Amino acid sequence: MPVEEDSCGYRWSDVPADQLRAEVGEALRTFPRRSIAADGRRPAAVLIAIVEQDGQQGIWLTERSPSLRAHAGQFALPGGKLDPGEDAIAAALRELHEELGVLLPDSAVLGLLDDYPTRSGYIMTPVVAWAENSPVPIPDPAEVAVLHWIPMSELDVEPRFTDTPGSDNPAIKLPLLGGHLHAPTAAILYQFREVVLRHRHTRVDHYDQPRFAWE
């Protein structure tokens, strides 16, 4: 039975957590996920962790530490490149633990979204997991400057598109946190919104990133 809709999309309050988890798992199970061959690019993974706070479900989003060598200060989901022998799920769970101090078991994983090719040479696999019992994050300041918790209702926003010099495809951005969240994170969260909140099979790998994310 679908979660009841209102003007903001699917309501994530007043619905038992086990029902919501089942809804998310079913949406991901029936989504015909696309994978992309690395072809010389580096495999990476990010984690969309669904976690309860103040009686609502939402996700964690980080602002990367200004001391990091790549993409310093940018908004990002917990994640990074795969270590030798890892798959995307193992890498995403490890990165969550390293960045936020939260250890989730493999059983917390509900599914995967489409691979997303980044301009900086990665193939990024989004992993969706359900965090039980509202774990308390302890961000590593070497990697995370600020940790945000975004309720599901705020993720149910319409994307905006802009032309990008040097690209034939539009860049996607989402109005969040008082400004705009850009791709690749914006593309991944838009697909999450479409697949999980709206039950629509929407592709995003053709959406580009702003020039500052190309490096």
pLDDT at position 114 over 80: yes
By the 10 Å C-beta count (0-12 exposed, 13-18 middle, 19+ buried), 38 is classed as middle
CATH for 5-156 is 3.90.79.10
3-state helix, strand, coil in the chain (%, to 5): 25, 30, 45
pTM, to two decimals: 0.90
pLDDT at position 3 over 50: no
Q: How confident is the model at residue 5 (pLDDT cuts 50, 70, 90)?
A: very low
Q: What per-residue confidence (pLDDT) applies to 66?
A: 53
pLDDT at position 11 over 90: no
* Residue appearing with tokens 């993409």: 71
Q: How confident is the model at residue 64 (pLDDT cuts 50, 70, 90)?
A: confident
φ and ψ of 95, to 5 deg = -65, -40
Q: What per-residue confidence (pLDDT) applies to 133?
A: 85
